[in-house]
Amino acid sequence: MKERGRIEQLWAHEKYSVMYHSQSHYERIRAALKNEPTFETVVSLIESAKAVPPAQGSMTNAFDHMWGYFKNICNEAEKEQYREMKRAFLSGNIAGATLITFLHHLSEKYEVDYLLQSSLLQSEE
């Protein structure tokens, strides 16, 4: 596989984990990808991003982006469950891992392979 293909595959695998940890790193990596970075450079940028402790805002942003895959295909009960879980997370009543597990379940149920390949969802298996 050519280097650009390896980079794109890596980014698809890691992008939600990066977003979960740091929106600014996510934007920095996206900007770098518009050029011709080496695979090693992208790996380094991703590792740097994942070293940042996730903040509630970056975690919520990642959850909302992943939720976008389901909002038009899931049932009303699942929509309400997501809203309730997000409220509980924002008020500190549940951990982010609970939302990750829920999104992983929806990814399996609705066969969203792109999300199932995400390192963020795979970390909960």
Encoded tokens for 54: 């996730």
- Looking at residues 36-53, what average pLDDT do you find? 97
Give 61-79 pLDDT, tens digit per residue: 999 999 999 999 999 999 9
Q: At 29, is the pLDDT very low, low, confident or very high (cuts 50, 70, 90)?
A: very high
CA-to-CA distance for 13 and 117, rounded, in angstroms? 6
Query: What burial class does residue 74 get, using C-beta atoms within 10 Å of its C-beta: 0-12 exposed, 13-18 middle, 19+ buried?
Result: middle
Per-residue pLDDT at 123 exceeds 80: no
pLDDT at residue number 124: 52
Per-residue pLDDT at 125 exceeds 50: no
Rounded to the nearest integer, the mean pLDDT of the chain is 96
